[in-house]
Structure 1
Amino acid sequence: MDSQRSILIIALAFVSFLLWKQWHQDYGPEPVTQQPQAEQLDHSGDLQLSADAFGPQPTATTPVTSQATAQSEQVVRVETDVLQVEISTRGGDIIGLKLSEYELTKDSQTPYVMMRRQTGFDFIAESGLIGRHGPDDKNNTDERPLYQVSQSNFKLTADQQELIVPLQYQHQGLQIEKRFIFRPGQYDVGVEYHISNQSDEVRVVQNYQHLLQTIDGGKDSSFFMPIYRGGAYGTDADRYKKYKFKDMQKRNLSIPTQGGWAAMLEHYFVTAWIPDQQADNKLYSLIDRGRGVIGVLGPVMQLQPGEQTVIATTFYAGPKIQDNLAELANGLDLTVDYGFLFFISQPLFWLLTLIQGFVGNWGLAIILITIIVKGVMYPLTKIQYESMAKMRNLKPKIEDLQARYKDDRQKLGPAMMELYRKEKVNPMGGCLPLLLQMPIFLALYWVFVESVELRHAPFMLWLQDLSAPDPWFVLPVLFGASMFMMQKLTPMTVTDPMQRKLMMWMPVAFSVFFIWFPSGLVLYWLVSNLISLAQMLYIYRGMEKKGLHSRKA
């Protein structure tokens, strides 16, 4: 083995490849494809589906999707301590939603906008009743029902534990009240249908709820700060699965499940419909006028004359706070997507939040978790550096063997292995510990990128947002300097001029590379390098005392 640095280059290249591959799969460009053949648009522009679009049903039922501009509608505005919501009386849909506790940009004093209906871009939450007698069924009407409401503004006051926003509608003998239930400090909203059959005949309805978002537009992503914008769902068989817009364009989703959920994701935030978790539901998706739709279809319900019933679902729109999401539905917390190393990222995130709870600063928490991780991995680090030092000390003997058997490669291999055995050196001793540390590196990367708790979190001095790049490039430059110092402590043994130049320029390349990374992540790497320098000095000093290491070797 010529040099452990060659292994380091391969390892870093491998890590970069994994990151690129994951980003390309999740956030890469979405090709424009034609809509599925099962979908047709009638003369009014409303979506029509084939009879099997939702799978076998008692009747061919199709929800009517809202137009961007609907006549005679009112907008009901609801304000709580954490939400600002706009509800259209046309269908009782949520057409606007802001998060009062999250700023659009750092120190902007402007609430983060999650949902909106505007020219050229829609992101709304629709829900309704279809079926033989459903007011939202395409077979019954050409437009969504127009609900009646007693007032246009509602506000959850400090002394209220619950705010109910009721909307009323009558249809074919059915008295329908659609209720939105808000509670203080909560991003989940109860959405209930209180239905009373006041006719003399059986009435059949089926509830649905879906999220509708324009496919083109609203995307702001890069390799260094990936932002997935698209669908996701969970079933009783598959707790979490992304369903991108390009997947919706290829085929309509149709999955029966008990419980389940359907969502739209956008980096730190999630919007989701959570139906009755004990009911037999069906998840579906479709494309409607350039807008992706993903939702949940509930079971068919028959109401006898005079019978009353309540259909309850939950709507969530807010930050990806894992504990809160886990309570709402199985797998919804996995929308905090740590990738294939989630089983490592989740304990690391738990430890990070635990530390932050004590120190009260996310930057200090990052420094402390770095010290803990490096301390736990110290035995591997010791093996790595000792192996690199021993291999460097063997360089003269290795060069002698290479000169002796330069024309006989078959004898060179056994001679090298005999030398390693005699000197008690493992040629892979410096590589394996590095490879074992790589999953920690990747897991922490996704923790820092995905955790909403780090969004706009200040550290100190000029670092006032750990989720954003360092505005003064101080951390990337310090990282490059620390990497240069580590190179000085481990002189090069490679003889190839190209490799030597590559290694010399690596600190500069990584400093430039890290300019676009979140400052919290660069802070972790800088502290990790500083600890590695201290560990390297300590290990080499101990080896020199035993006569096992010479920096001039």
Structure 2
Amino acid sequence: MEDNRNLILATGLSMLVILVWFVLFPPPEPVEDPNAIPVAEESTGGGVDMAVAPPAADTPDDPVAIDATALTEVALSEAARLPIDTPSVEGTISLLGGRIDDLSLRTYDETLDPDSPIVRLLSPVGTAEPYYALYGWAPGGDLGFDQVPGADTPWTVEDGETLTPDSPVTLRWDNGAGLIFRRVIEIDEDYMFTVTQSVENSTEADVRLAPYGIVARHGLPADLQNFFILHEGVVRKVDGELDEIAYDDMPDLDLVAREGAPAEVVEVTENGWIGFTDKYWMTTLIPGAGQAFTSVTKYVASADIYQTEARMPAVSVAPGETAEMTTQLFAGAKEWETIREYQDVGGIDRFVDSIDWGWFYFLTKPMFWLLHTLNQLIGNMGLAIIALTLIVKAVLFPLAYKSYVSMAKMRELQPEMEKLKERAGDDREALQRGMMELYKKNKVNPASGCLPILLQIPIFFSLYKVIFVTLELRHAPFFGWLNDLSAPDSSSILNLFGLLPYAAPEPGTIMALIFIGILPLLLGISMWFQQKLNPAPTDPTQAAIFAWLPWVFMFMLGSFASGLLVYWIANNTITFIQQYTIMRIQGYKPDVFGNIRSSFKRKKSDS
């Protein structure tokens, strides 16, 4: 039993240390990147460092020109544009460069305020946070950059007026030297663009060139979470292997140029994709299934630009012929069902892995699937979390049963344990020998409760990952004031949980940690009740620590997502009912309220 208590104590103290760290060193508040270069001072214009023309993967004669002045900055209102109109997104395409740089998500609001604007994903150069997708061709052979389309190419509309799921648009550019470029852009009802680039050669000689796609963002995102449990930055798939690169780890192109080393370049043989992922949103370049390409990530420190590229193999186009290349662009919300559909039906290799499932993905994925299914059946995410808790407890019940039976027997032995403690005095070895003989005589295994506790730890962290990361929990309501299960409990003891006309402290502040809400209070109470069923440690120091743990966790977990607290309260309540019932079946009648009254009397007499 001593080992069991030490395990519980070590687990509790470890979690306490982590939680104290969160309180003392919380994630920084989302602020605009102070190092971002003002729009008027940026030297790159469109923000693509290598004249937006990366070298072709298999074309050694392709020239590489680092031209920081090749692009022209334009604000949203300064360029001719084509509207985008679908059930899921709205925005425009700039005809300058043919950039997809203005996109908002129709079904997602920034906040719960009824007047909140919808979420903006992509923004053009000239706005506060430029973030866009760009396509073009890299010249090879005798071609120059002025003969292929790039970031500042003035495209014209050849076909279409508005991009919708039923009406694609076609852009056209004639370089005046015998090459005619076209770009057909399509979009589905969700978040997937299909971009087909073609070149028609009406010259009298072969031409060699390579298509590419780029996703670039200027500066760090203003809503960067910067939390260790969540990946934000580059996410890419390379022939079945997932690769995640944080913004801080992206190769500095200025340093790369000085040292003569390549940027972060990875050759993909047949299946892959690359882009940027945020907590809930993502923009990803996706070459066709079976298509080889070069995956590139880099950072331009002088312009504070983060960039990902998909460079396609170079093609040779004979006189009178046309070459084309089709790729896709996902720009939208990381909805599990939508992304899974793109993977299973659209053939995008392991696209569901773009959601950050974490180290315990083998638990996180099925747990999310079950939670998602329960939510669809019940229609309330909070009730779905409680139903998930019931299922988890049912699965673990055979193991928990042995633990509860052991604890019931330990409770029965508590008076004899006290007598042993009195006889042994300060002789810990004698106490240990007496305890082992007592356990052996009564056929009690003090370590039988370890396994359920160990299993609960990865389950708890997996559920925490699901609640913190997945989009389906964002703005998901429960009941009453709990209108966002991905956010902390907004109630507070400071205003008597809404009875007094005072606003509750802002979540994440010290005041919010002190003046906790209803859910943290219920959590502390549920942990306290559950603790009263377990035998008290014989060591006074351990007993004192255990007595304080429920209240410490009550304050420390108050700033966690309310969905997680709903799970933990439900888990504690179900555990209490199971353990109490099993103890009664085993012949031990725990007097929980009597124990509580006795503990209060002891504290009163001590004072």
Q: TM-score, normalised by structure 1?
A: 0.84
The change in CA–CA distance for 1:271 and 1:237 in structure 2 (over 3 A counts) is: same
Deviations 1:242-273 (A, max 9, x none): 11112213672111112210021111121111
Instruction: Find out whether 1:309 has 2:323 as its counterpart.
Output: yes
Which one-letter code corresponds to 1:233 in the other structure? R
Which of 214, 229, 233 matches 2:236? 233
What corresponds to 2:222 in structure 1?
Answer: 218
| Deviation, structure 1 residue 42 | 9.6
Matched, 1:269 2:281: yes
What's the offset of the Cα at 1:393?
4.3
SS of match in other structure, 2:168: strand
Corresponding residue of 2:247: 245
**Residue 121 of structure 2 corresponds to which residue in structure 1?**
114
Q: Structure 1 residue 282: deviation in Å?
A: 0.9
1:436 to 417, 434, 455: 455
1:285 is displaced (CA, Å) by 1.0
Corresponding residue for 2:498? Answer: none
| In structure 2, distance between residues paired with 1:176 and 1:345 | 46
1:73 shift after superposition: 3.9
Change (3 A) 1:191 1:110: same
Contact map agreement 1:74 1:152 (CA 8 A) in 2: no
Residue type of the partner of 1:480? Answer: G
Q: Select the residue among 350, 357, 360 that pairs with 2:369.
A: 350
CA contact (8 A) 2:57 2:293 kept: no
Q: CA deviation at 1:101?
A: 0.9
Does residue 478 (structure 1) correspond to residue 497 (structure 2)? The answer is no
Q: State the Cα distance separating 1:188 from its structure 2 match.
A: 0.4
Distance between the aligned counterparts of 1:278 and 1:385, measured in 2? Answer: 55
Partner SS, residue 339 of structure 2:
helix
Q: Deviation per CA, 1:67-126, whole angstroms, max 9, x where unpaired?
A: 571497423331211111332222211122100011111234421111113455321112
| 1:389-415 Cα shifts (integer Å, max 9, x gaps) | 334444566677778888998888777
Aligned-residue offset at 1:358: 1.8
Shift of 1:500: 3.7
Deviation at 1:380, TM superposition (A): 2.0
Q: Which runs of 5+ in 1 are unaligned?
A: 34-40
Query: Which residue number corresponds to residue 487 of structure 1?
Result: 531
Aligned partner (choices 147, 165, 168) of residue 169 of structure 2: 165
> What's the offset of the Cα at 1:502?
3.1
Q: State whether residues 183 and 197 of structure 2, in contact with CA within 8 Å, keep that contact through their aligned partners in structure 1.
A: yes
C-alpha deviation, 1:154, in angstroms: 1.7
Opposite residue 249 of structure 1, the aligned amino acid is P
Name the counterpart of 2:494: none
Aligned AA for 2:59?
A: Q
Cα 1:20–1:149 shift into 2, 3 Å: farther
The number of aligned residues is 534
Contact 1:263 1:272 in 2 (8 A): yes
User: How big is the alpha-carbon RMSD for the aligned residues of Structure 1 and Structure 2?
Assistant: 4.0
Q: Secondary structure at the match of 1:310?
A: strand
Aligned mates of 2:45, 2:557 — CA distance in 1: 53
Amino acid at match of 1:302: S
Q: CA shift at 1:131, angstroms?
A: 2.7
User: Using the alignment, how far apart are the partners of 1:208 and 1:20 within structure 2?
Assistant: 48
1:368-517 matches, cutoff 5 A: 368-394=387-413, 417=436, 419-472=438-491, 473-490=517-534, 492-497=536-541, 499-517=542-560
Task: Show the counterpart of 2:265.
Answer: 254
Which residue of the partner structure matches residue 211 of structure 2? 207
Contact 1:73 1:146 in 2 (8 A): no
CA offsets 1:427-464 (integer angstroms, 9 cap, x no match): 32122220022221121111122221121122222222
Equivalent in the alignment of 1:298: 312
Match of 1:364 in 2: 383
Equivalent pair of 2:403/2:452 in contact (CA under 8 Å): yes
Contact 1:321–1:333 (CA under 8 A) maintained in structure 2: no
Q: Distance in 1 between matches of 2:138 and 2:490?
A: 53
Distance 1:470 1:368 in 2: 20
C-alpha contact 1:279 1:299 (8 A) present in aligned 2: no
Q: Which residue of 2 aligns with 1:519?
A: 562
Contact 2:231 2:244 (C-alpha < 8 Å) held by counterparts:
no
Contact 2:160 2:169 survives alignment (8 Å): no
Q: Which residue of 2 aligns with 1:36?
A: none
Aligned to 2:495: none
Take 1:465 and 1:450, find their aligned partners in 2: how far apart are those partners? 14
CA contact (8 A) 1:476 1:515 kept: yes
Is residue 186 of structure 1 aligned with residue 200 of structure 2?
no
Structure 1 residues 456-465 or 249-258, which shifts more? 249-258
For 1:399 and 1:134, the matched residues in 2 are separated by: 93
Rounded to whole Å, the distance in 1 between the matches of 2:54 and 2:199 is 27
Match for 1:129: what amino acid?
W
Displacement after TM superposition at 1:420 (Å): 3.7
**How far 1:189 sits from its partner (Å)?**
0.8
Structure with the higher fraction of residues in strand conformation: 1
Q: Is the 8 A contact 1:3 1:494 kept in 2?
A: no
Between the aligned partners of 1:47 and 1:485, the Cα distance in structure 2 is: 62
Identify the range of structure 1 (423-432 vs 288-297) with the bigger mean alpha-carbon deviation: 423-432
Give the 3-state SS of the residue equivalent to 1:200 in structure 2.
coil
Match of 1:76 among 75, 82, 102: 82
Give the structure-2-normalised TM-score: 0.77
Of stretches 362-371 and 326-335 in structure 1, the one that deviates more from structure 2 is 326-335
1:135-180 superposed Cα distances (whole Å, 9 cap, x missing partner): 9948979963221126996263xxxx52212211122422111121
Write out per-residue CA displacement over residues 282-321 of structure 1, whole angstroms, 9 at most, x where no aligned residue. Answer: 1001112211111211111111111123211111111212
**Aligned letter for 1:246?**
D
User: Deviation of residue 419 (structure 1)?
Assistant: 4.8
Distance 1:2 1:199 in 2: 86
> How far apart, CA to CA, are the structure 1 residues paired with 2:147 and 2:116?
46
Instruction: Provide closer, same or farther for how the CA distance between residues 410 and 136 of structure 1 changes in structure 2, counting only shifts above 3 A.
Output: farther
Aligned in 2, Cα 1:269/1:509: closer, same or farther, shift over 3 Å? same
For 2:142 and 2:468, locate their aligned partners in 1 and report how far apart those are by CA, in whole Å: 44
Q: State the Cα distance separating 1:383 from its structure 2 match.
A: 2.0
- Pick closer, same or farther for the CA change 1:43–1:434 going to 2, 3 Å: closer
Note the C-alpha offset of 1:21. 11
- Tell me the amino acid that sits aligned with residue 295 of structure 1: E
Q: Which residue of 2 aligns with 1:130?
A: 138
- 1: CA distance, partners of 2:146 / 2:298: 15
Structure 2 alignment gaps of length 5 or more: 36-42, 257-262, 492-516, 599-607
CA contact (8 A) 2:56 2:138 kept: no
Once residues 148 and 317 of structure 2 are traced to their aligned partners in structure 1, the CA distance between those partners, rounded to angstroms, is: 18
Q: CA shift at 1:331, angstroms?
A: 2.3
Q: 1:293 to 1:20 in 2, by over 3 A?
A: farther
1:163 is paired with a residue whose SS is coil
**1:38 equivalent in structure 2:** none
- Does the Cα contact within 8 Å between 1:125 and 1:212 map onto a contact in 2? yes
